[in-house]
C-alpha cells in the first residue's frame, strides 16, 4: 500500500454534487484515539497554555489560539516516547490531545474578560464559584455546538475554511513525513521565559522604554520589553499590529496632549477626577482618569459595530442551524451501527439532557450566581444565559469558520450580553452590588460558551479532515473544559493575590471595560462625554475603512503595550516580503507563528511563577529576589534597547534559517 502524502485535494475546496470527502484516516479504519496517553498530555498542555493565556489576557487584553502549538508539542512528545515519527495509527491520538488541550485557551478568554471585575469591585468570588461558572459556560458552549457540526463542518466544507482547524490538520499530517516545527515552539518557550526573567524577575534591564516628545505637553511614547507581545504581533501580522499601535499613538501623542493643553488653566478637578487638577497630573494619570473612558467607548462601539455587521451572517447561520436541527430531530437518532465512524456525534438526547441539567445548576445552585438572592433571581439569570448562549454559540461557530478564533468578536458578544442583562436588572431594580455582580457572572458564562464554541468548531474541522470520530472529539472537548476550568481559575485567583488587577503589571483591560459597561447602565454615572468621544473615533475608523476594534484596543491600552505588537508584525512583513518564493514565505510565516506562540507560553508561564514568588515573599515579609539595573546607571535604557534588538535579531535568525 503506497504511503500517504498528505490531505486529500478535496480538503480545501467545496465538494461537487455527489462527492464525499475522503479523510486522511478512512472511516473503515479503527486506530487508537481516545486513549489515556492522549487525554493526559492534552490535560497537561491545556494547563500550561491555559495559565499562559490567562496571564497574557490580563496583561494585553487578548488571547491566542493554542491548537497548533499544542498539536506540535504533542507530536514532539509522542515521537520522544514512541519512535521517530507519528504513524497514522497515532495521528488521531495526537489530534485528541490537541482537542483536549486547546479548550483551555477559550475558557481562559471568557474568565479573564469578565471575572477580574469582581475583584475590582471588592466582591472577589471564591474558587468554587469561579470554577462552577467556567465549567457551566464551557459545557454549554460544547453541547450547543454539537448539533451544528453536520451543517457547519460537513455541509459547509470548502465554504467555511476554519483557518486554525485546517492548519492544525496540515501540521499533524506533516508530522508523518518528519519536520522540525516542534523545535520552534520549544525555542520560543525558552526565549519567552528568558526575556521575562531578564526584564521582570532579575530586572537586569528596565521592563519598559519611554521617550518624552519635545515641545509636546505630556506627550511620550514607550515600548514594553515583552517577548510575548512581540510574538503576538508576528502572529497577528503587520496590518493589525500597525492599526493597534495607531490607536495607541492617537492616545499618547494627540489625546493626552490635547487634554493637557485644554486643562492647563483649570483650577478645579474635572470629573471623574475629584482631587487633582489636569495641570497637576502626569501623562499616566491623564490616561487613567480620562483616556481610559475614551478607549472604553471606542472598544465598546467597535465591538458592537463588529456584531452588527455580523447580523446577516448571524441570521443566516441561526436559520440554517435550527432548520438542520429540526430536520435531524424529525429523522430521529441514527444508530451507531448504521453510520460511519467518522459521522457519529454524541446522541441528541445526551445533549438535551446535559443542557437541561446545566440550566438547573444555574438556577438552583446558589454558589453559581452567588450574589443574586433567591431561586427566582437565579432563574431569570439562567434564562438569560441560555438565551444568549444559544444565539452566540451559533454565531461564534460560524464566524470563526470565516475569520478564525483569534478574530472572533467575543468581547462584542459579551458586551451585548451585559447590556441586555444589565438593562433587565435595571428594570427589576437590581442596581447595587448584587445587580453588578449578577450581570457580570451572566456575561462570564456566555463569554466562555461563545469562546469554547469557536474552539470546538476548529477542532471538529481538524477531525473532519483527518478522519477522527466526532463523538470522541466532543467527549475530549468536555474533558478539556472540566480540567482546564479548575486550573485557569486557580491561576486567576493566584495572580489576584500576588499582583492584583487594575495594576500596571496586570491591568486586566477587558474586565475593566466590562466593569465600566455594567456601571454605566446600572449606576448611570459614566463620564459620557469621554465615552462619546471614543464612540465617534470608532465610527470614523469604520468610515475610512480601518477596522475599528483593533484600533480601539490600541486607544484603550497604553502605547507601550502596542509598540512591541507592531514591531512583531513588521518583522513578519519583512520576513515574508524578502522571501525568494511563496514556499519560503509560507515557511517563514508558519515557523515564526510557532516560535511566537512558544514565546507567549514561555513568558506567560514565567509570569505566573514571578507572581507566585512575589506573593510568597510578601507573605514572608520580604520582597521578591532581584538584581536590578541600578548598576547600569544612565546606560540602563540603552541596555533595554539592546535587549529588544537582540530579541528581534533572534526571531529574524530563526524564521529565515535554511530548512
**Is residue 133 situated within a structural domain?**
yes
Q: What confidence score (pLDDT) does residue 336 get?
A: 42
Q: What confidence score (pLDDT) does residue 356 get?
A: 94
State pLDDT tens for residues 316-371. Answer: 655 665 665 566 556 554 444 457 888 888 887 888 899 999 999 998 888 888 67
**Is residue 62 situated within a structural domain?**
yes
**Is residue 120 situated within a structural domain?**
yes
Closest to 361 measured CA to CA, from 110, 135, 127? 135
**Is residue 89 situated within a structural domain?**
yes
Q: What confidence score (pLDDT) does residue 659 get?
A: 46
CA distances in angstroms from 516 to 217, 422, 451, 520, listed in the order given: 28, 12, 21, 6
State pLDDT tens for residues 56-80. Answer: 778 766 676 777 778 777 877 887 7
State pLDDT tens for residues 26-53. Answer: 888 888 889 999 999 999 988 888 887 7
**Is residue 408 situated within a structural domain?**
yes
**Is residue 573 situated within a structural domain?**
no
Count the alpha carbons within 13 Å of 606 in the hemisphere toward its beta carbon: 23
Expressed as residue numbers, the domain containing 379 is 24-181+311-330+350-498
**DSSP states of 60-73:** HS-----HHHHHHH
State pLDDT tens for residues 623-644. Answer: 556 677 777 778 888 888 898 8
Which of 10-14, 329-333, 435-439, 555-559 has the least mean pLDDT?
329-333
Question: Average pLDDT for residues 175-192, to the nearest whole number?
Answer: 70
**Is residue 483 situated within a structural domain?**
yes
Of residues 8 and 483, which shows the higher confidence score?
483
Q: What confidence score (pLDDT) does residue 315 get?
A: 65
Average pLDDT value over all residues in the chain: 80
pLDDT grade, residue 136 (50/70/90)? very high
Q: What confidence score (pLDDT) does residue 104 get?
A: 87
Residues near 219 by Cβ (< 8 Å), separated by ≥ 6? 212, 213, 252, 253, 256, 257, 283
Question: Average pLDDT for residues 440-465, to the nearest whole number?
Answer: 91
Q: What confidence score (pLDDT) does residue 289 get?
A: 76
Return the DSSP state at 157: B
Asked if the peptide bond before residue 53 counts as cis, ω within 30 degrees of 0, the response is: no
**Is residue 392 situated within a structural domain?**
yes
Has residue 301 got a pLDDT over 60?
Answer: yes
Question: Average pLDDT for residues 197-217, to the nearest whole number?
Answer: 82
Has residue 524 got a pLDDT over 80?
Answer: no
Total count of domains within the chain: 1
State pLDDT tens for residues 528-584. Answer: 788 889 889 989 998 998 888 778 878 877 788 888 888 998 999 999 888 888 888
Cα distance between residue 540 and residue 159, in whole Å: 32
Cα distance between residue 595 and residue 69, in whole Å: 9
What the block records as the C-alpha cell of 587 is 515557511
CA distances in angstroms from 419 to 187, 281, 531, listed in the order given: 43, 33, 15
pLDDT grade, residue 448 (50/70/90)? very high
Q: What confidence score (pLDDT) does residue 314 get?
A: 55
Amino acid at each position: 500500500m503506497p504511503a500517504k502524502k498528505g490531505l486529500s485535494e478535496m480538503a480545501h475546496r467545496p465538494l461537487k454534487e455527489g462527492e464525499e470527502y475522503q479523510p486522511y484516516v478512512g472511516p473503515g479504519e479503527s486506530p487508537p484515539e481516545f486513549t489515556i496517553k492522549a487525554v493526559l498530555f492534552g490535560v497537561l498542555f491545556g494547563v500550561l497554555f491555559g495559565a499562559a493565556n490567562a496571564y497574557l489576557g490580563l496583561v494585553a487584553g487578548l488571547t491566542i489560539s493554542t491548537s497548533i502549538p499544542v498539536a506540535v508539542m504533542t507530536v514532539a512528545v509522542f515521537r520522544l516516547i514512541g519512535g521517530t515519527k507519528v504513524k497514522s495509527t497515532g495521528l488521531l491520538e495526537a489530534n485528541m490531545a490537541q482537542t483536549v488541550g486547546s479548550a483551555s485557551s477559550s475558557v481562559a478568554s471568557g474568565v479573564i474578560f469578565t471575572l477580574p471585575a469582581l475583584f475590582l469591585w471588592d466582591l472577589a468570588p471564591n474558587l468554587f464559584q469561579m470554577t462552577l461558572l467556567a465549567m457551566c459556560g464551557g459545557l454549554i458552549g460544547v453541547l450547543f455546538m454539537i448539533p451544528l457540526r453536520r451543517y457547519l463542518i460537513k455541509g459547509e466544507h470548502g465554504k467555511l475554511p476554519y483557518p486554525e482547524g485546517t492548519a492544525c490538520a496540515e501540521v499533524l499530517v506533516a508530522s508523518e513525513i518528519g519536520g522540525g516545527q516542534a523545535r520552534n515552539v520549544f525555542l520560543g518557550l525558552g526565549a519567552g521565559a528568558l526575556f521575562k526573567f531578564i526584564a521582570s524577575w532579575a530586572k537586569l534591564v528596565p521592563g519598559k522604554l519611554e521617550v518624552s516628545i519635545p515641545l509636546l505637553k505630556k506627550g511620550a511614547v514607550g515600548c514594553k520589553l515583552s517577548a510575548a507581545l512581540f510574538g503576538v504581533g508576528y502572529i497577528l501580522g503587520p496590518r493589525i499590529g500597525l492599526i493597534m499601535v495607531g490607536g495607541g499613538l492617537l492616545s499618547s501623542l494627540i489625546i493626552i496632549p490635547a487634554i493637557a493643553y485644554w486643562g492647563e488653566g483649570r483650577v478645579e478637578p474635572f470629573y471623574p477626577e475629584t482631587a487633582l487638577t489636569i495641570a497637576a497630573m502626569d501623562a499616566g494619570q491623564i490616561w487613567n482618569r480620562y483616556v481610559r473612558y475614551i478607549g472604553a467607548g471606542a472598544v465598546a462601539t467597535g465591538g458592537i459595530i463588529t456584531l452588527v455587521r455580523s447580523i446577516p451572517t448571524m441570521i443566516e447561520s441561526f436559520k440554517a442551524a435550527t432548520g438542520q436541527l429540526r430536520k435531524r430531530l424529525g429523522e430521529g437518532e441514527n444508530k451507531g451501527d448504521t453510520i460511519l465512524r467518522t459521522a457519529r456525534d454524541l446522541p441528541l438526547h445526551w445533549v438535551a439532557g446535559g443542557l437541561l441539567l446545566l440550566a438547573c445548576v444555574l438556577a438552583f445552585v446558589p454558589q453559581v450566581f452567588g450574589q443574586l438572592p433567591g431561586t427566582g433571581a437565579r432563574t431569570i439569570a439562567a434564562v438569560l444565559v441560555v438565551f444568549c448562549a444559544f444565539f452566540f454559540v451559533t454565531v461564534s461557530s460560524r464566524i470563526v469558520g470565516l475569520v478564525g478564533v483569534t478574530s472572533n468578536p467575543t468581547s462584542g458578544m459579551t458586551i451585548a450580553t451585559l447590556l441586555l442583562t444589565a438593562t433587565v436588572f435595571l428594570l427589576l431594580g437590581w442596581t447595587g452590588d448584587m445587580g453588578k455582580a449578577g450581570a457580570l457572572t451572566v456575561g462570564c458564562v456566555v463569554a466562555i460558551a461563545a469562546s469554547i464554541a469557536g474552539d470546538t468548531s476548529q477542532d471538529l474541522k481538524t477531525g473532519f479532515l483527518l478522519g477522527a470520530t466526532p463523538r470522541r472529539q466532543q467527549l475530549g472537548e468536555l474533558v478539556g473544559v472540566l480540567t482546564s476550568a479548575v486550573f485557569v481559575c486557580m491561576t486567576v485567583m493566584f495572580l489576584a493575590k500576588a499582583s492584583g488587577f487594575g495594576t500596571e503589571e496586570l491591568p486586566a483591560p477587558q474586565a475593566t471595560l466590562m466593569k465600566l459597561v455594567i456601571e454605566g447602565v446600572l449606576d448611570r454615572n459614566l463620564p459620557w462625554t469621554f465615552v462619546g468621544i471614543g464612540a465617534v473615533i470608532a465610527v470614523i475608523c469604520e468610515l475610512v475603512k480601518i477596522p475599528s476594534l483593533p484600533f480601539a484596543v490600541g486607544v484603550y491600552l497604553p502605547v507601550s503595550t502596542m509598540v512591541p505588537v507592531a514591531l512583531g508584525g513588521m518583522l513578519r512583513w519583512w520576513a515574508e516580503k524578502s522571501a525568494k518564493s511563496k514556499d519560503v514565505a509560507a515557511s517563514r510565516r508558519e515557523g515564526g507563528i510557532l516560535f511566537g506562540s512558544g514565546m507567549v507560553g514561555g513568558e506567560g508561564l514565567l509570569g505566573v511563577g514571578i507572581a507566585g514568588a512575589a506573593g510568597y515573599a510578601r507573605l514572608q515579609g520580604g520582597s521578591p529576589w532581584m538584581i536590578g539595573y541600578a548598576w547600569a546607571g544612565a546606560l540602563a535604557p540603552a541596555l533595554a534597547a539592546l535587549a529588544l534588538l537582540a530579541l528581534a535579531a533572534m526571531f529574524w535568525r530563526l524564521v529565515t534559517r535554511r530548512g
